[in-house]
């Protein structure tokens, strides 16, 4: 099973040792994890050092290394220069993709996000109809910004009237930051593995964002983090402790309805990125977007 490795204690050294990621402190080994099982490494701690050979091995496996600020928001991501075996052709198709296809892809992503938000609210026992109804108003490229309209209705119901989404805040937002960082790392890995360039987004186009496409494709999965954080806060408060991190990291193994069966989040992200790459190549949009899990599954997240 793919694992997200979290380094949150100061002074740790990370190195490669015969197919393992080795963690030491002061020359004493604290643990090791097979490199082939690592989906990503998230570093929050000060004074963390890494060997170049380890970073190269992680890059070869497409496992991102995410460097975070104190608020658990990502500051930088290390990813490989080479990814999918057919990367050259797929990158050209991505660069040359027409605006109509890009806009239709973004429309489908936003509809899937609204569907997941509505399902999340229903599972939490909240009124979801005002959010669910907005899916019908999403246009190509979401030119009327229905995504923002849904967010204004969604957040007060999900987190309470007083909640404001603020990446710099040290309350519930810090837990959301961590959960989204885990999700972003897994999405970035899926994008690169599919032979796509992460900086060429469907919608996000900030020149300073090297992972615009990952930010686009993770959107429908965000409410899974939100449900989990709501439950964690209700049970233990908003602290980003070891238990909370483990619970949020386990989201990558959650099964989602996709096609005729159930697919873990980490695999669903890969299928979505691959389907987008194939759509670029054929010029015909066919995205593998998951459906929301059943209400009992969503209600049980974080417990």
pLDDT > 90? residue 191: no
DSSP tag of 196:
-
pLDDT > 60? residue 225: yes
- Does 145 share its domain with 19? no
- Does 26 share its domain with 147? no
In total, how many domains does the chain have?
A: 2
pLDDT > 90? residue 2: no
pLDDT, mean of residues 238-243? 92
Residue 242 belongs to domain with CATH number: 1.20.120.920
**pTM for this prediction:** 0.85
In this predicted structure, what is the pLDDT of residue 206?
61
Split at pLDDT 50, 70, 90, the class of 81 is low
Residue 14 belongs to domain with CATH number: 3.100.10.20
pLDDT, mean of residues 214-227? 97
> Is residue 79 assigned to a domain?
no
> Is residue 272 assigned to a domain?
yes
Are 140 and 130 a contacting pair, CB within 8 Å? no
> Is residue 71 assigned to a domain?
no
Beta carbons within 8 Å of 156's beta carbon, 6+ residues apart: 163
pLDDT > 90? residue 213: yes
Task: Give the residue from 17, 47, 63 where a domain finishes.
Answer: 63
Q: What percent of the chain has pLDDT over 70?
A: 95
Helix (H, G, I), strand (E, B) or coil at 51: coil
Beta carbons within 8 Å of 97's beta carbon, 6+ residues apart: 280
- Does 39 share its domain with 91? no
- Does 37 share its domain with 101? no
Helices (H), the chain: 52-60, 87-96, 99-123, 129-132, 146-159, 172-193, 212-217, 222-236, 242-249, 265-282, 295-299
> Is residue 81 assigned to a domain?
no
Of the candidates 51, 68, 66, which has an alpha carbon nearest to the alpha carbon of residue 14? 51
> Is residue 224 assigned to a domain?
yes
> Is residue 244 assigned to a domain?
yes
Evaluate the CA torsion angle 9, 210, 179, 34 in order and state its sign: negative
Split at pLDDT 50, 70, 90, the class of 216 is very high
> Is residue 116 assigned to a domain?
yes
- Does 130 share its domain with 226? yes
Please state at what angle helix 99-123 crosses helix 146-159, rounded to 10 degrees. 20
- Host domain of residue 200: 87-299
Span 118-164, pLDDT tens digits: 999 999 999 999 999 999 999 999 999 999 999 999 999 999 999 99
- Does 159 share its domain with 229? yes
- Does 191 share its domain with 145? yes
């Amino acid at each position: 099973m793919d694992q997200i490795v979290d380094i949150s204690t100061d002074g740790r050294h990370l190195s490669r040792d015969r197919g393992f990621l080795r963690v030491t402190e002061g020359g004493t080994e604290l643990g090791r994890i097979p490199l082939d099982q690592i989906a990503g490494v998230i570093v929050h701690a000060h004074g963390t050092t890494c060997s170049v050979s380890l970073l190269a091995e992680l890059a070869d496996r497409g496992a991102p290394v995410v460097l975070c600020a104190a608020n658990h928001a990502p500051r930088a991501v290390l990813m490989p220069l080479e990814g999918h075996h057919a990367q050259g052709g797929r990158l050209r198709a991505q660069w040359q993709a027409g605006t109509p296809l890009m806009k239709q892809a973004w429309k489908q992503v936003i509809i899937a996000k609204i569907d997941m938000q509505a399902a999340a609210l229903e599972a939490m026992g909240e009124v979801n109809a005002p959010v669910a109804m907005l899916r019908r108003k999403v246009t190509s490229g979401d030119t009327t910004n229905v995504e923002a309209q849904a967010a204004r209705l969604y957040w007060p119901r999900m987190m309470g009237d007083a909640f404001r989404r603020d990446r710099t805040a040290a309350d519930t937002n810090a837990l959301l930051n961590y959960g989204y960082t885990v999700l972003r790392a897994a999405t970035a890995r899926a994008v690169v593995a599919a032979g796509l360039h992460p900086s060429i987004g469907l919608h996000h186009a900030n020149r300073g964002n090297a992972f615009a496409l990952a930010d686009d494709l993770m959107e429908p999965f965000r409410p899974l983090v939100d449900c989990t954080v709501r439950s964690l806060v209700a049970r233990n408060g908003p602290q980003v402790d070891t238990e909370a991190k483990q619970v949020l990291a386990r989201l990558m193994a959650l099964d989602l309805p996709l096609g005729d069966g159930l697919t873990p989040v980490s695999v669903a992200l890969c299928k979505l990125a691959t389907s987008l790459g194939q759509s670029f190549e054929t010029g015909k949009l066919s995205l593998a977007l998951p459906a929301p899990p059943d209400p009992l599954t969503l209600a049980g997240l974080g417990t």
